[in-house]
Amino acid sequence: MKRSALILGATGLVGKQLVHVLSSMDEYSELRLVVRRTGDFTNPKIKEYIIDMNEMNQHPELFHVDDIFCCLGTTIKKAGSQEAFRKVDYTYPIEAARLGIENGVKHYLVISSTGARKDSPFFYSRVKGELEETLAGLPFKSVSIFRPSLLVGEREEFRFGEKLAEWVYRPFAGILPGKLKKYAPVEGHVVAASMAITAIKPKSGVRIIESDEIARLGMVKN
Which residues are annotated as catalytic?
Answer: 124, 128
49-71 per-residue burial string, b: 16 or more CB within 10 A, e: under 16:
eeeebeebeeeeebbebbbbbbb
Cα 171 to Cα 35, 107, 148, 164, 219, distances in angstroms: 35, 36, 18, 12, 19
CA distance 136 to 125: 16
Task: Assess contact for 146 and 114: CB atoms under 8 A.
Answer: no
H helix and E strand count, the chain: 8, 9
**Distances from the Cα of 27 to the Cα of 164, 173, 200, 209, angstroms:** 38, 33, 8, 22
